[in-house]
């Protein structure tokens, strides 16, 4: 039940982010929910592998390298879904930072 609530709130963050930030387009809230699900699945699978493989870089950068991994995962989500578009990597990076902060905050609160 908490997972569903978490995904719905994260979808809300993605939906609001798309409305407030130029360069991000989401067709609707349903698409934002699908983005949250796909991003979550990619993060749990590929993200976990990438985080394990890049532990030295994460340690050396004091965790900043995690933002690059999350940017890549968000870009990958953008490539998978047609109704979700991010114009460039700079916008993808900023969106990944905001989504990471929101996701971490939601994890702490739920």
pLDDT per residue over 82-96, tens digit each? 999 999 999 999 999
pLDDT per residue over 12-60, tens digit each? 999 999 999 999 999 999 999 999 999 999 999 999 999 999 999 999 9
Model pTM? 0.92
DSSP the chain: -HHHHHHHHHHHHHHHHHHHSTTEEES-HHHHHHHHHHHHHHIIIIIHHHHHHTHHHHHHTTTTHHHHHHHHHHHHHHHH-TTEEE--HHHHHHHHHHHHHHHHHHHHH-
pLDDT at 58: 95
Our count of domains for the chain comes to: 1
Domain that holds residue 51: 2-109
């Amino acid at each position: 039940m908490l997972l569903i609530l978490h995904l719905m709130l994260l979808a809300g963050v993605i939906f609001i982010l798309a409305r407030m930030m130029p360069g991000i387009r989401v067709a609707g809230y349903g698409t934002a929910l699908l983005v949250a699900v796909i991003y979550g699945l990619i993060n749990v699978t590929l993200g976990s592998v990438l985080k394990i493989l890049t532990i030295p870089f994460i340690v050396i950068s004091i965790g900043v390298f995690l933002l690059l991994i999350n940017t890549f995962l968000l870009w990958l989500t953008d490539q998978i879904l047609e109704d979700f578009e991010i114009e460039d990597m700079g916008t993808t990076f900023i969106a990944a930072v905001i989504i990471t902060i929101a996701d971490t905050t939601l994890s702490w609160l739920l």
